[in-house]
Amino acid sequence: MAFWARRDDWTAPPGAETPGKAVLEAALRYRRMGWSVIPVGRNKRPLVPWKRYQTHLATEAQIRQWFTEHPDANVAVIFGAVSGDLACRDFDTLDAWAQFESRHPDLAATLPVVRTGRGYHAYFTAKTRTLRFEGGEVRGEGGYCVTAPSMHASGRRYEWIREPQGPPPTVDPAVFGTPKPAAKRTTRPRKLCPEPAPADIESMPLRQQAAWHSTALTVRMNAARDAGDLAEFNRLIPAFDRVAGFLEDDPDFGPMLRAAQWPELTH
């Protein structure tokens, strides 16, 4: 595999493989290994809707199309069941990898490893979610990471130090240490009722009226669902659908709003 100089004025010699072609060929090779891949930008964000590829492999034709449309794209691998329970230990720094290597030299010598812009990615097989550790994390089901031969923001290309020669070894993530506790998620209590309707709502453009009614209906539907009141929830669905999909030239829409068909929403 070729890796490329970082000079801005660098050009490939005649007949040489260009970086974009190298990334495409790598993406196709990973796909043939059974790994789910997607194109990502230099900011590591997906360049295509990628939820589907957490459960389905893209076709080679689709991959070729992506990297033709985005010739400067990097390639990322999605972890989890879609890629044969592939996972990755992301070592944020060279020191973090060195410490692991010194504690587990035999294991470290068997793991496929990519040199990143700052540290290392070590690939293995495990059924795991994403876990946070000192000096990095394990990325598992539903996660992804950029891989070789992509370009890191630092200007360094991701580079295989040890390429996979088949499915990566199965590893218990506990070998990487004790995960950090998951961060507690804070959520605001759900609003139980909408704000009173503005006094001048009838003089507003219909689109603004519809927006207020849509919000009011959503709040009521959420409250009905939370209370288990399926009848009330189903009663509000037709009204919500009408408001959400209204046409301003619908002659019945204005009168429908002005008729206050849902007086309980306007208090």
pLDDT digits (tens, 9 = 90+) for 97-106: 999 999 999 9
Domain boundaries, the chain: 19-176, 201-266
pLDDT tens, position by position, 133-168: 888 999 999 899 999 999 988 889 999 999 998 899
Q: How confident is the model at residue 201 (pLDDT cuts 50, 70, 90)?
A: low
How confident is the model over 6-17, as a mean pLDDT?
Answer: 40
CA distance 19 to 2: 9
Per-residue tokens: 52: 């589907």
* Alpha-carbon dihedral angle through residues 110, 114, 116, 118, given to the nearest 10 degrees: 10
- β-strands 131-133, 136-139: how paired? antiparallel
**More reliable by pLDDT, 263 or 57:** 57
Instruction: Give the CA distances from residue 169 to residues 88, 104, 120, 165, in Å, rounded to whole numbers and listed in that order.
Output: 11, 14, 17, 10
Q: How confident is the model at residue 175 (pLDDT cuts 50, 70, 90)?
A: very high
How confident is the model over 118-127, as a mean pLDDT?
Answer: 95
CA distance 83 to 77: 8
**Topology of the domain comprising 19-176:** 3.30.720
Q: What is the pLDDT of residue 220?
A: 80
How confident is the model over 12-30, as a mean pLDDT?
Answer: 76
Q: What is the pLDDT of residue 170?
A: 97
